[in-house]
Structure 1
Amino acid sequence: MTTALAADPARSRGRRHPEPEGATRGPRDAFQRDRDRIVHAIAFRRLRHKTQVFVAPDGDHFRVRLTHSLEVAQIGRTIARALGLNEDLTEALCLAHDIGHPPFGHAGEDALRQVTALAGGFDHNGHTLRVLTRLDSPYPRFPGLNLTWETLEGLAKHNGPIARPDWALAEADADFPLALAEWPGLEAQVAAVADDIAYDNHDIDDGLRAGLLDLGALLTVPLVARTWAGVRARFPDVTEHRLHRELVRDLIGVMVSDVIAATRARIADAGVRDGDEARRLGHALSGFSDELAGEERVLKQFMYANLYHSPRQLAVAAAVHGLVRRLFAAYAADPTLLPPAWREALPAADPYRTRHIADFVAGMTDRYAISRHRELVGPVDLPDGF
Structure 2
Amino acid sequence: MADSLNPSIPMLKDELDIVIPTIRNLDFLEKWRPFFEPYHLIIVQDGDPSITIKVPKGFDYELYNRNDIIKILGPKASCISFKDSACRCFGYLVSKKKYIFTIDDDCFVAKDPSGKEINALEQHIKNLLSPSTPFFFNTLYDPYQDGADFVQGYPFSLREGVPTAVSHGLWLNIPDYDAPTQLVKPLGRNKRYVDSVLTIPMGTLFPMCGMNLAFNRELIGPAMYFGLMGDGQPIGRYDDIWAGWCTKVICDHLGLGVKTGLPYIWHSKASDPFVNLEKEYNGIHWQEELIPFFQSATLPKDCTSVKKCYIELSKQVKAKLGKVDPYFLKLADAMVTWIEAWDELNPSVAEIPNGTVKGK
TM range (shorter): under 0.3
Greater strand fraction, Structure 1 or Structure 2: 2
Greater helix fraction, Structure 1 or Structure 2: 1
Q: Which has the larger radius of gyration?
A: 1
TM-score normalised by the chain length of structure 2: 0.27
Asked which structure has the greater RCO (Cα within 8 Å, sep 6+), the reply is 1
